[in-house]
Amino acid sequence: MPEVKGIPLDAPLYRGSRDRGSAFLGCQAINLVFSVGSEVSSLLPKGLVPVANPAIAVVGVASYPSSTVGPYLECYSGIQVRDPGGETGFYIPYIYVTTNDAALASGREVLGAPKKLAHITLIREGGLIQGTLERPAGKRLLTLTAQPDQRMSSSSQQMFSARTYFYSVRHLPPINERGKGAVTQLVKWCTARTLRRDELGDQVQFTGPISLTYDSPSIVDPVHNIALGEPMLGTYEEYDAKLEVIDILSETATPGK
């Protein structure tokens, strides 16, 4: 199958195998799954509906030390939704990456993931792990603080699938006042994760107390629009992953003149 690659065509910023997807090795991530304390329908594109009422969301910070587009950190917010085919996954309204032009461009151009550059940290101090998002530097948008001191139970593990679907909106703006060239697509993609096993043979998947704070709301980066309701599960995981595009679920084009 033809490969996926960006521009310029003779020296693409990124490239990948369409049938093998993109690889991410040695990943570390903290996540909080929670019920949303506000209405989220206005954040969702046509064709996607919340799975639950109140809606369920996830906010996470991840480190990707080795990937097919290079190393970077990422902060993401997702809303659990059902697509027209009845399958469930997470719509991604907000996602940020550290300085990596290939990760930024490939996410936006191929998936429609609305990636922006930001300052992201994922640090350990004692038994705590903390993830932060700032944009610009000094403007703290959110903080995740976790104390992952227990291995996840089998019942908690059922909340997470090894293969997770995601949805995003890929948009090409018009190039003239008549709307020529405008295309809006709802893209479905997925990640397949393989949890790392420690020297005892156990999966590196822990839970424990975790907090999310929206430290300094910003109209430019309104991650706080996914308001924190009731926390459901906090996790720390180490894994390898593969990302692949599934399909375009809908498309609206404006031919223009």
Nearest to 212 by CA among 232, 242, 183: 232
Q: Considering the domain boundaries, does residue 256 fall inside one?
A: no
pTM of the full structure: 0.94
In a domain, 5, yes or no: no
Q: Considering the domain boundaries, does residue 92 fall inside one?
A: yes
pLDDT for the residue numbered 228: 98
Q: Where are the beta strands (DSSP E) in 65-109?
A: 66-67, 72-82, 88-97
| DSSP one-letter code for 197 | B
User: Does a structural domain hold residue 146?
Assistant: yes
Domains: count for the chain? 1
Query: Is there a domain that residue 161 lies in?
Result: yes
- Whether 121 is covered by a domain: the verdict is yes
Q: Which 8-state DSSP code applies to residue 68?
A: T
Quote the pLDDT of residue 257.
59
Enter the tokens of residue 74: 């990422």
Cα(218)–Cα(139) distance, rounded to whole angstroms? 9
In order along its 257 residues, the chain shows pLDDT tens digits of: 457 889 998 899 998 776 667 999 999 999 999 999 999 999 999 999 999 999 999 999 999 999 999 999 999 999 999 999 999 999 999 999 999 999 999 999 999 999 999 999 999 999 999 999 999 999 999 999 999 999 998 777 766 778 999 999 999 999 898 889 899 999 999 999 999 999 999 999 999 999 999 999 999 999 999 999 999 999 999 999 999 999 999 999 877 65
The CATH number of residue 83's host domain is 2.40.400.10
Note the pLDDT of residue 194. Answer: 96
Range of the domain at 135: 12-166+193-248
Q: Rounded to an integer, what distance in angstroms lies between the CA atom of residue 95 and that of residue 103?
A: 12
Residue 173 lies in a domain: no
Output the pLDDT for position 1.
40
Residue 188 within any structural domain of the chain: no
172, 71 Cβ separation under 8 angstroms: no
Helix extents (H) in 187-238: none
In sequence order, what are the beta bridge partners of 247? 188
